[in-house]
Amino acid sequence: MSDIYQITLTTQTGETFTGKMSRRQPEIINGFVALATNTGEWRYFRPDSVEQFHFVPVIEEESNGDEQAVS
C-alpha cells in the first residue's frame, strides 16, 4: 500500500485544490479539513464547505521498470 497520496479536494462552490500527503499526516485539525499543497503550504477548510476529498495512491517506478508503491 502506498504511503503517499495525490489528493484532490473539491469545495461546495466547485473550487478544486490538489496536494500530496502521507497517510500519517492529519486530515482533520481542530475541526478543519487539512490539505498540504504541492508548494508545501497548508490549507484548511470548514468540513461543511468540502464536497469531495479524493485520495489516489502515488506509484513510484523502479529503475528496471517495475512499479512499486512509494514508502
Using one digit for the tens of pLDDT, what is the confidence trace for 7-16? Answer: 999 999 999 9
pLDDT value of residue 26: 73
CATH number of the domain that residue 41 is part of: 2.30.30.100
pLDDT value of residue 71: 44
Whole-structure pTM value:
0.71
Using one digit for the tens of pLDDT, what is the confidence trace for 4-63? Answer: 899 999 999 999 999 998 877 777 888 899 999 888 899 999 999 999 989 999 987 655
Q: Give me the number of domains the chain comprises.
A: 1
Whether the pLDDT of residue 66 is over 70: the answer is no
- Nearest CA to 54 out of 3, 10, 23 is that of 10
Range of the structural domain that residue 48 is part of: 4-69
Q: List the grid coordinates of 58.
A: 502515488
